[in-house]
Amino acid sequence: MIFKFRFIFFSAIFILLFPVITKAQTNAILTAVPGLLINENAQTGGMGEIGTVATEFNFNAAYLQNPALLARNKKVIAGFINYTPLFRSLVPDINLVNIGLLFSPDGKNGFSYAMSYSSLGKITFTSPTGTPLGEYRPFEIYNSLRYARMFSTNFSLGLGYKSIYSKLGPDFMGNDYKGMSHAADIGFNYTSIMPVDEKKDIRLNIGASALNLGPKLTYGFGRYDFVPSVLKIAAMVNINLYLVNKDLITLSFSYQAQKLLVPTPPIRDQNGIVAGTDPDIGVVAGILGSFSDAPGIPIRDANGNFIYNPDNSIQIEKGSVLKEELHEIIHQFGIESRYSFSDIDLALAYRAGYFHEYASKGNRKYITTGVGIQRKAYCIDLAYYISVIARHPMGNTTVFAFSYQLFRQ
């Protein structure tokens, strides 16, 4: 049973977030609770999953990728629900539901609560001899509280706390297959509006966030794994065109880079680590070391064996350490076109984006597209993923969202 469960658990983590690995040199980074990295928002999902910056119409991004977006000089009371049927090309019953509430009473301070529930499908557990032990539906729940404050008309800072609960198997032989942890989020947002003329202005938005900063998580067996701490930096340019009839056209262009803040796996041989650094370190050391711990690409002889140095380390291709560190950065691109009809309080939006992860680090590459419609206080959004890689689990994924603005000024 234990072997069966551990195989399912760690294989699932690898398949769900790092599904397509090429035959080239690979060194993907694995963490516990990878569901924290899955996009849950249809508005950001349509724009290449960019949510560290957002248009003034997308307040949902504050719940997930940047707490500083809670305070943006807008009085607002709002709620939302997102639903994502995940990995339908592989399994039929993995679902993600995300709900949240936002309250900014004065535009200077913002508060939010969000809850994410992941149902990871039905698994049949068996004993080491193959005897069925029953079925179980693993699940994960994340609860988060966030606060942000405007420190000037342009700059806001946000903080957040989240609890993490993961239950991946039934209680058996003294182990409940339960993992619990907590984490902190921090983010900042800078916005500048530059008038061009009476019919046009340009809005620049720069943001950064560090998410899921917390202790390791364990499911037992004496193993402790890092949670997926991640750094995100993004920029967005919005062009607002004011028409004669008071309608508004908004064109948005955005870019985001993100990197995991956890150790890169070293290269090992039968005697231990021969390149890179030992990942069995503390959380703070792992975050700081994540920018310089890549082992690089080993040089091999004609038989495919490592070539050793006198100190028993192995020879590494020149420049490959820096190259691997740079390949750990995920690049995201997104655009949005929005037309707002002032006389009937209606807005239509079209979004597109691209998500690029290097092959050696997971090979997630997909095009995203999405649409949105807002009628008065109600907003419905849809995002759709088109995989560039054949049989990618994220291919054909659809994200649905509904939000309601009780008050906005």
pLDDT of residue 315: 92
Q: Regarding predicted confidence, which is higher, 268 or 7?
A: 268
Write down the pLDDT at residue 22. 39
Percent of the chain residues past pLDDT 90, beyond the cut: 61
- 230-266 pLDDT per residue, tens: 999 999 999 999 998 889 999 999 999 999 999 999 9
Mean pLDDT of 43-51: 94
- Three-class SS of residue 67? helix
Band the pLDDT of 89: cuts 50, 70, 90: low
For position 16, what pLDDT does the model report? 45
Strands 223-225 and 217-220 turn out to be antiparallel
Which pLDDT score is estimated for 227?
95
- Residue 185, CA atoms < 13 Å, CB-side half-sphere: 33
pLDDT recorded at residue 397 = 86
State yes or no: pLDDT of 350 exceeds 80: yes
Confidence label for 188 from pLDDT (cuts 50, 70 and 90):
very high
> How is the chain split into domains, by residue range?
2-264+328-408
Lowest mean pLDDT among 62-66, 140-144, 392-396: 392-396
Burial class for 237, CB neighbours closer than 10 Å (0-12, 13-18, 19+): middle
Q: Which CATH superfamily is domain 2-264+328-408 in?
A: monomeric porin ompg (2.40.160.40)
Return d(Cα 201, Cα 208) in angstroms, integer: 24
pTM of the predicted model over 0.95: no
Q: Are 275 and 266 in contact (CB under 8 A)?
A: yes
Q: pLDDT tens, 119-170?
A: 888 888 776 777 777 788 889 999 999 999 999 999 999 999 999 999 887 7
Give the range among 165-174, 196-205, 297-306 with minimum mean pLDDT. 165-174
- Give the pLDDT band of residue 409 (cuts 50, 70, 90): low
Residues 162, 167, 173: CA angle, nearest 5 degrees: 140
